Amino acid sequence: MDDINKENVIKFINNLKDDEIWNKTEFINEIMFHIPAIAQAEKICKREGKVYMYYWVYPSGYKDFGACHAMELSSVFNNLKNNIYSGGNVNENLSKCIQNMWINFAKNGNPSIENYKWNCYDLSERKTMILGEDIHEEKDILSERRKLLSSLAKHCQIKFNI
């Protein structure tokens, strides 16, 4: 890793407002999940493909899990009694919306549903659906994180033939 990337990693971790272990955990989450997902979306956009990005924010009932990776799966698959990630903190309305979004995407190639228009991700606006208690779309979420860490994507992603 070059000096600029090292500085960016330190800046990223220091910008977070939690204790050291959670800041480092958030860094790992970012480079393992969020940054590679963005890199894949960018590749697909450059080939004029359609991409729909989401960011899960509904928290687990387990104190230290937060809105962890895979937390959304019990809602997507209507397995709300499975507490492995949810810790029993489920939202049936959110789950129904998400299921309808996924079904609509499978049927029509677009996850928009009656009350929620879900726009394609693109390189200028980077629209992302925020899935939580309040479902809404935002432009370029966590942009500072993306800008600090995007150059690390080449070190932490699987190569796809897209």
> In this model, does residue 146 exceed pLDDT 90?
no
> In this model, does residue 160 exceed pLDDT 60?
no
pLDDT value at residue 46: 95
- The residue among 4 and 66 whose pLDDT is bigger is 66
Nearest to 30 by CA among 154, 131, 152: 152
Handedness of CA 3, 5, 9, 15 (dihedral sign): positive
Instruction: Give the tens place of pLDDT for each residue, 103-125.
Output: 999 999 999 999 999 999 999 99
Any idea where the domains of the chain sit in the sequence?
A: 3-156
| Amino acid at residue number 11 | K
**Which burial class, exposed, middle or buried, applies to 120 when counting CB atoms under 10 A from its CB (0-12, 13-18, 19+)?**
middle
Q: Record the tokens describing residue 91, joined without a space.
A: 């939202």
> In this model, does residue 36 exceed pLDDT 60?
yes
Q: Measuring CA to CA, how many Å separate 49 from each of 92, 143, 160, 161?
A: 32, 22, 15, 14
Query: Whole-model pTM?
Result: 0.85
